[in-house]
Amino acid sequence: MAIEHANVLRAAHLARLGVSDAQAERYVDDLSRILEMVDRLSEIDTQGVAPLSHPLDATQPLRADEAIEPDRRDTFQQIAPATADGLYLVPRVVE
């Protein structure tokens, strides 16, 4: 399946990745060649084959729903770009 300019812009938006129109053009070229290589998967008959998401076929183990990590908010916020009163600051989202 070929990838088109609009697909690249859509993926960039979904990934919240700033991509200009001119850059998108270059990605169309790169991604098309990657997808062309990936398209070879369609040569294989996979009817009735269950998808493998974990290489040991393991399922997600569950643990008791208990807090086990200590509160280290102050340490973690020391490396944040902007904080105040224990909160992370971002541009205003609600007027």
Partner 1 sequence: MHDKTLAELARGLAAGDFSSRELTSSLLERVKKHDPAINSFITVTDEQALKDADAADTLRHKGEAGILSGLPLAYKDIFCTEGVRTSAGSKMLDNFIAPYNATVVEKLRHAGTVSLGKTNMDEFAMGSSNENSYYGPVKNPWNPTLVPGGSSGGSAAAVAAGLVPAALGTDTGGSIRQPAAFCGITGLKPTYGRVSRYGMIAYASSLDQAGPMARTAEDCAMLMNVMAGHDARDSTSVARNVPDYTQGLDKPLNGLKIGLPVEYFGDGLSPEVETAVREAVRVYESLGAQVIDVSLPHTSMAIPAYYVIAPAEASSNLSRYDGVRFGHRCDDPADLEDLYKRTRAEGFGDEVKRRILIGTHTLSEGFFDAYYRKAQQVRRLIRQDFLDAFSRVDVLMGPAAPTTAFELGAKADPVQMYLQDIYTIAINLAGIPGISVPAGLVDNRPVGLQILGPHFGEAHLLNVAHVYQQATDWHQRRPEIKE
- Positions touching partner 1 (CB under 8 A) are 1, 3, 7-8, 10-12, 14-19, 27, 30-31, 33-35, 37-44, 46, 49-56, 58, 60-61, 63, 68, 72, 75-76, 78-82, 88, 90-93
Residue 87's H or E segment, with its range, is strand 87-88
**Residues 6 or more apart in contact with residue 32 via CB below 8 angstroms:** 2, 3
| Token output for 1 | 């399946």
User: What's the closest the beta carbon of residue 11 comes to partner 1, in angstroms?
Assistant: 4
Question: Could you tell me if 47 and 19 are in contact, meaning their C-beta atoms sit under 8 angstroms apart?
Answer: no
Cβ closer to partner 1: 85 or 91? 91
Cβ closer to partner 1: 67 or 91? 91
